[in-house]
């Protein structure tokens, strides 16, 4: 693309900021590849909603943040979802800035590749947080997290919420080999972590984890959902509401239910839009 005709000199912002329409500018720094997922540190303006963070997401505009690029560069026009992996409040030294940890498992995606190549403190336009996240029942004390290494960072806020209330957490990862050091460093020491290959007793370990837990959360590929349903039925005879919540594996594009790219089948034969009614669903709604 010829950019010689760009007449505007763009100066990157020095602080994150809100804009008219509800979107915001974040200053991001790619941190590392964690088991195939991109981890980003993001400085956001104070006042972003922090309700039910696990499973909620921002939509990032993956194009240079100049007025000319926003109007003319359509090479990466579609926003990409970034899930919340953590949050820290503003400090006395930076009262208007909050520190967030964001993650994306779609490392083969062109937009995520663009984000991974951003320099430290680069400006990225975000919308969010969007969607509905995980909810811990008030009396729950044993949490089973069932995921794969590239997706588990999106469940970290739920894990920390359970530990903060004095509960216990088991993390069951579907994968082979040793747990990557970058991922192990990201997980709290208080959580028990197991990794099991799909063909090496996965279903038995899954049943053990669900039998121990009084609440569970999953973030797995769509093809793995039948295995979770089977394990729940084996352990509890039926799929009970408020036991397992699932972060569904769908495309999150517009965030407002307009494009229908995220249509998700329900167990009653109907369909729903995951970007607004999810992307976290009760497993009882997804399968019977």
Percent of the chain with pLDDT strictly greater than 90: 49
How many whole angstroms separate alpha carbon 241 and alpha carbon 153? 25
- pLDDT for the residue numbered 287: 77
Confidence of residue 11 (pLDDT cuts 50, 70, 90): low
- pLDDT for the residue numbered 76: 62
Query: Burial code of 126-150, b = ≥16 C-beta within 10 A, e = fewer?
Result: bbbbbbbbbbbeeebeebbbbbbbb
pTM equals 0.88
- Tell me which of 28 and 10 has the higher pLDDT: 28
| Range in 59-63, 106-110, 140-144 the model is least confident about | 106-110
- Residue 17 three-state SS: strand
Q: 61: closest CA among 122, 7, 140, 148? A: 122
Q: Using alpha carbons, list the distances in angstroms from residue 154 to 94, 148, 200, 258.
A: 26, 11, 25, 24
What mean pLDDT comes out for the span 39-67?
Answer: 87
pLDDT tens digits, 206-261: 999 999 999 999 999 999 999 999 999 999 988 889 999 999 999 898 888 888 88
CA neighbours closer than 13 Å in the CB half-sphere of residue 126: 28
């Amino acid at each position: 693309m010829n950019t010689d005709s760009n007449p505007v000199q763009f100066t990157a912002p020095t602080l994150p900021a809100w804009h008219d329409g509800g979107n915001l500018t974040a200053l991001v720094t790619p941190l590392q590849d964690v088991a195939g997922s991109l981890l980003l540190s993001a400085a956001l303006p104070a006042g972003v909603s922090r309700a039910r963070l696990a499973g909620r997401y921002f939509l990032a505009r993956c194009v240079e943040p100049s007025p000319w690029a926003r109007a003319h560069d359509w090479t990466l026009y579609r926003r990409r979802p970034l899930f919340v992996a953590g949050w820290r409040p503003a400090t006395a030294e930076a009262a208007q800035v909050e520190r967030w940890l964001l993650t994306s498992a779609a490392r083969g995606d062109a937009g995520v590749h663009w984000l991974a190549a951003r320099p430290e403190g680069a400006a990225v336009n975000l919308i969010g947080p969007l969607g509905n996240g995980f909810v811990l029942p008030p009396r729950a004390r044993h949490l089973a997290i069932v995921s794969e290494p590239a997706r588990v960072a999106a469940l970290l806020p739920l894990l920390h919420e359970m530990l903060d209330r004095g509960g216990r957490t088991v993390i069951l990862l579907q994968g082979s080999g040793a747990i990557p050091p970058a991922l192990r460093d990201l997980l709290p020491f208080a959580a028990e972590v197991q990794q099991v290959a799909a063909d090496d007793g996965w279903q038995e370990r899954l049943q053990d984890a669900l039998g121990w837990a009084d609440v569970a959360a999953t973030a797995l590929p769509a093809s793995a959902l039948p295995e979770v349903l089977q394990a729940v039925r084996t352990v509890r005879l039926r799929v009970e509401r408020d036991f397992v919540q699932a972060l569904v594996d769908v495309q999150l594009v517009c965030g407002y239910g307009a494009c229908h790219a995220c249509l998700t089948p329900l167990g009653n034969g109907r369909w729903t839009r995951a970007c607004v009614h999810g992307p976290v669903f009760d497993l009882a709604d997804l399968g019977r």
